[in-house]
Amino acid sequence: MQILKSITPEVVRKKQEAIALIAPRLQYSVPPLHLLQNISDETPWDPPFPDGVDATLDGLFERTSRVIRNESTGIPHRLQTGREWGGEFDVNKVKVPGQPLPK
């Protein structure tokens, strides 16, 4: 709680703005309700932006492409121990938009 309380309102606002920009990529897009009223209408609907499913599939295809090209996928080697693999999560870091990540 101390870490959360120490985040300034300006940083919270910047983080909220950053989340608002990527929010469409974190959710599944559904057609607007007015397009769902006529069940006989089979007109395809394409979301105006890539959604969470698009982002997931794009990541899957990119990772597969890297494996096929024998490039690093950025995933730690599976033979690492739990302590080695999860060590980066032992430290709390607060990323401030527009500033480098603290070391």
Residue 1 lies in a domain: yes
For residue 21, what are the domain limits? 1-30+47-72
Q: Is residue 13 part of a domain?
A: yes
What's the rounded Cα separation, in Å, for the pair 88 and 103? 11
So what's the pLDDT on residue 103?
A: 63
Q: Does 3 reside within a domain?
A: yes
* DSSP secondary structure string for all residues of 17-85: HHHHHHGGGGS-----HHHHS-TT-------SS--HHHHHHHHHHHHHHHHHTT---SPPPTTS-HHHH
pLDDT tens digit sequence for 45-57:
777 778 888 888 9
Residue bearing the bigger pLDDT, 90 or 99 = 99
* Residue 82 within a domain: no
Alpha-carbon distance of 45 to 32, in angstroms, equals 9
Residue 25 has pLDDT above 80, yes or no: no
How many structural domains compose the chain? 1
Distance CA 4, CA 94 (A): 9
Assess if residue 7 is contained within a domain.
Answer: yes
Instruction: Report pLDDT digits (tens) over 69-84.
Output: 888 776 665 666 666 6
